[in-house]
Amino acid sequence: MELAGRRIVLGISGGIAAYKAAELVRLFVKAGAEVRVIMTRAAQKFITPLTLQALSQHPVATDLFELTEEASHESKIGHIELADLAELLVIAPASADLIAKLALGLADDLLTTVALASKAPLLIAPAMNVNMWNHPATRANVATLASRGALTVGPGAGELACGWVGSGRMAEPVEVAEACARALGPRDFGGLKMLVTAGPTYEPIDPVRFIGNRSSGKMGFAVARAAARRGAEVTLVAGPTALATPPGVTRVDVESARQMREAVLARAEAQAAIVMVAAVGDYRPREVASEKGKKETLGESPSLALIANPDILAELGARAWPGRRPILIGFAAETEDVERRAVEKRKKKGCDLLCANDVSEPGSGFGTDTNRVLFVGEGGVERLPLLGKDEVAERLLDRAAALMTGKKARG
């Protein structure tokens, strides 16, 4: 883990998972990082500052107003200094309440004040009851933070301290530490151009109706966000989605498969890598009506003639490139026999790497914040566990980086 010499500010909010923060601090220190710990009032109900002080070898900051007055010389570090000192602000566990405060930009205690004042990247490791995690308010708050560039690790699924079973378990300390290493990691895509497609396509039937699919764009936006953070100059060709553009990314909005093809082909030659995450409609209506079809005319059982759309990825995979061929990465949405189909699809589409997901599995595929994928490359198949889409994006970029430098891919 490349954390040696890095300055990490760890915020701990209230929740049973606060005990995991002790192990996280131990991992940071073992890896050679300098760690400063901030605890909320609620966090101190679950674990004592003394434990964290002993492990981090620094006084633990707990109160906004005690920082400059009574504290010893060592801890006389104000909230702005703490904010400026951080190369990374990680909040683990991040409770629903704390996430809501961060999304609103509240600064009513030391941790939220430091978070607001810090320009360091923010990584949150949420931990809460499954219903709180799934609540639309929490979903919206997490999406707001993601749109500002915040990274998320976990939560995992399983038995929760509250007795419920589901998503809400804080990621294990080793996973959080790895996510920190990645967040602080080298900008290994610096100077490289990458094109990412995301979201669904809409194929018009008439001015009112269309054929679409369930893609939310989350997976593709996560890839674009991670690539930009790792230094790539990212163009995101997005089908219709309400998601906010990730920081530093150039967005091109399209609707139909043919518009997406045009947008991709016009930019393809300049790219070091093209990642096709979009769920491109395979068919479109043969005719597009210029007026809204009326029930009186269409009757009770109208039929719709379809015609195949161009296969953008297959076209990229088969074309003769005048210069260096970009690394081509495709996705595959499958509902059965995932591995065999993915192996075949990679060959058929002529891509270097194929990332397949079983979209019929709960928590995986369309619209979810998590995904279980397998990578099919030249070297074989690598299966990943159920992970947050940000995490899947990072792993995918690790594979892309290996392909670009000609390193042997894992799996």
10 Å CB burial of residue 297 (0-12, 13-18, 19+) is exposed
132, amino acid identity = M
Residues belonging to the active site: 162
Pick the binder of ligand PMT from 62, 95, 141, 215 (CB under 6 A): 215
Least spacing, CB of residue 367 vs ligand PMT, in Å:
5
Contact window for ligand PMT (CB under 6 A) among 54-62, 124-132, 168-176, 275-283? 275-283
* Interface mask toward ligand PMT for 92-131; x: CB under 6 A: ----------------------------------------
The DSSP symbol for 109 reads S
Pick the binder of ligand PMT from 100, 134, 259, 366 (CB under 6 A): 366
* Cα 228 from Cα 204, distance rounded (Å): 32
Contact window for ligand PMT (CB under 6 A) among 12-20, 36-44, 185-193, 209-217? 209-217
276 binds ligand PMT (CB under 6 A): yes
Strands 193-198 and 250-253: unpaired
395 binds ligand PMT (CB under 6 A): no
Number of residues engaging ligand PMT in binding (CB under 6 A) = 27
Q: Which is nearer to ligand PMT, 118 or 256 (CB)?
A: 256
Pick the binder of ligand PMT from 12, 115, 278, 400 (CB under 6 A): 278
Contact window for ligand PMT (CB under 6 A) among 45-53, 160-168, 309-317, 401-409? 309-317
> Under 8 Å CB-to-CB from 324, ≥6 apart: which residues?
none
Q: Which is nearer to ligand PMT, 115 or 374 (CB)?
A: 374
Pick the binder of ligand PMT from 23, 81, 84, 311 (CB under 6 A): 311
> Under 8 Å CB-to-CB from 241, ≥6 apart: which residues?
198, 199, 200, 215, 216, 217, 221
Contact window for ligand PMT (CB under 6 A) among 18-26, 160-168, 203-211, 308-316? 308-316
H or E stretch covering 99 = helix 96-104
DSSP 207-243: SS-EE-----SHHHHHHHHHHHHTT-EEEEEE-S--P
223 binds ligand PMT (CB under 6 A): no
For the segment 327-346, give every residue that binds ligand PMT (CB under 6 A): 330-333
Triad 330, 335, 337: Cα angle to 5°: 85
Sign of CA dihedral 109, 110, 113, 115: negative
* Cα 134 from Cα 282, distance rounded (Å): 32
The DSSP symbol for 366 reads T
Interface residues with ligand PMT (CB under 6 A) are 215-220, 257, 276-280, 282, 309, 311-313, 330-333, 349, 357, 359, 365-367
